[in-house]
Amino acid sequence: MNDHVAIRRMLALAAAGALEPNEERLVAAHIQSCAGCAAELEEWQLLTGGLRRLPTPQPPASLVERARARAEARLAEEAEYRWHRGVMIFLVFFAWALTLMSWPLVRLVSGGLLGLLDPRLNQAWIGFAAFTTFVWLGGGAAAVLLSLRQRRERSLA
């Protein structure tokens, strides 16, 4: 492929301002001596100039207002959702910490008095802890499922 053909293939991109600087220099140098390519470049420039001057369709004012109102409502929903999620996470951690701390605390405060009342109670904390874990895992799974369902409903809305 000779230079003339190669340059001619670049002319559309030259008019679109999409050439590398070195390619632009090549085109500029070539059209100085090639009237055909200069005319062709002008044709491309007329076309790209026309594209740049196409009238911009305006969105209806009512559309912009509707979009604004819906987006603001969604923004408020998002903020509320994040707040609820934050509160829920805090409560979950708080409840877990309270649960885990409560039994050793009871034992400490009671000074073994409960053990005197029921000798089997010292071993019972393992069962209690297992029960608590089971309940919390169940609650956690329910919360996750609920959250997934809410998200699905929101995406369908």
- Which residues make up the interface to another protein (CB under 8 A)? 9, 12-13, 15-16, 18, 43-44, 46-60, 63-64, 66-68, 70-72, 74-76, 78-79
User: Which token pair is 142?
Assistant: 């329910």
Q: Which is nearer to another protein, 25 or 102 (CB)?
A: 25
Q: Between 81 and 125, whose beta carbon lies closer to another protein?
A: 81
Q: How far is the CB of 10 from another protein (least distance, A)?
A: 9
- Cα separation, 14 vs 100, in Å, equals 72
Task: Pick left, alpha or beta for residue 111 (phi over 0 → left; psi -120 to 50 → alpha; otherwise beta).
Answer: left
CA dihedral sign of residues 8, 13, 15, 21 = negative
> Cβ closer to another protein: 83 or 94?
83
How near is the Cβ of 95 to another protein at its closest, in Å?
Answer: 27
Residue type, 136: W
Q: How far is the CB of 9 from another protein (least distance, A)?
A: 8
User: Going by C-beta distance under 8 Å and a sequence separation of 6 or more, which residues neighbour residue 99?
Assistant: 132, 136
Q: Which residue number, 16 or 144, has a Cβ lying nearer to another protein? A: 16
Q: How far is the CB of 67 from another protein (least distance, A)?
A: 4
Handedness of CA 26, 27, 30, 32 (dihedral sign): negative
